[in-house]
Structure 1
């Protein structure tokens, strides 16, 4: 179902529509062939070549050869006209992104275009007034990055786990032209995405990269998440990181300080409270077993064993994993 309508099978499509589709495909194929032939001889971005390649990309934005063709022609433009042409290219890329949000060649082209624009804008800022290469842009590098981050926010709101978007975001924030507070932005972005949807591995991972986290505040955030979605793996992965890796431990067998033991005990109590409501929540059961082992409570060995035996029942696909835990010392 798409937008409330069932997608027709090939046999259900009217013959007139099939004929129109074949005609459209034939025209598209002819256009693609013309573009590829032009690439062999064309050395500049003429209006004809510009329109022809744009039409081809509007039909299918996933043709990397055409993007590379445009990239080559844009690179040949003098600085005085390149900025304007690159901004037009960004408009074309916005159109392509609306058609398909996950395309290597589209995001590769966008990264190249924005990087070129940022370099040109920085050079224009540094050039003296009236200089030969001075193409003063209406937009500053900082404004361009802010605009692109706005695009990123919209795309992440639509699909918070689109790794093309996350990679592009990392490129923007690592560029020398970005002058903002990256830590503050990462904190706000991860919080907003988690508030929208707890099940977002990318947002939780971004949060794990933040410096000077208040572990107690983070644990409270995680509690809200796992009480809402007790079987969401992304939440429990971050919880595991907070209680082990964030405490400077690589595994549960490492020695804990009194404060770290206090955190484990507090979390164990919270997990046990959750299990009273959701007795078969597998990630909560596994976490409880891990904490009991870490705390090495007297008489907990039998309880840990019973937990893993229960996990084999509620999660049979991972029976081998739980058996390995049982056999571990």
Structure 2
């Protein structure tokens, strides 16, 4: 077997083998190089055989107290470069404060810098234009992964391009089962193939289809089933009312207009719910500040505060303003939507 020395050196381990070969004979060095090449080919084939949309969990060896409880998503198959510059913008942190500087969401602040990726929830910019999945990326602003789509160019009758190169790219929510090189398309008028990544109206979908990124009003963009591993199932289509019945991941059953757009498949990264951060510092990296227990406060600060020694609070769990935290329904019965057939808590 002929071995390319330069090819092996570019793999990273070849330079070490060449240094090691100075103390070897020619035949031993050739066998060692061939063995390293075989191992690298096998590792690359195993890496390419994995599914980047359904990554596993990495359990670390318990060498430290934090590693003992750490279980993280394996992102080794995702794209490792920076996002597309013209599809991103800087994200300004609010620290949980509103426009008047008042804290309206507690326990927010700090964290790593982020770039916001513009996601095409409407799929309206490239309707009826096929695209190819260029890469699958990590997005720090959501639990699921995103896919970069390169759409086919618009060509005029004279053969000239009618769109700019940057207009052919867009980010979408990455569904499970999609691969690099897969073709996807979105259409509001006609039915397209029922395969992950394709988008069409619920009117054109067969009964029983699993969908995500579902619109609640036609043309508004996807609002339902956008987080990691979520999906909904199409149960029936009402031709008289022009509505489609969906069962969501939360077991809620509701109607939406059958002219609403939805994407076939489930959102990627279904193992996100099994991730364990393992230490407090990883929460701080995400911009989550510590929560202080009410029983550790004074009576002036929390209903559970005060008492002699370690007390349990003396009343059901509640917020600092007395709002019950466990079992109390905050939804208003008189404001229930008539499109909801069964609520998630019933």
TM-score class normalised by the smaller sequence: under 0.3
Instruction: With the length of structure 1 as denominator, give the TM-score of the two structures.
Output: 0.22
Instruction: With the length of structure 2 as denominator, give the TM-score of the two structures.
Output: 0.22
Q: Which one has the bigger strand percentage?
A: 2
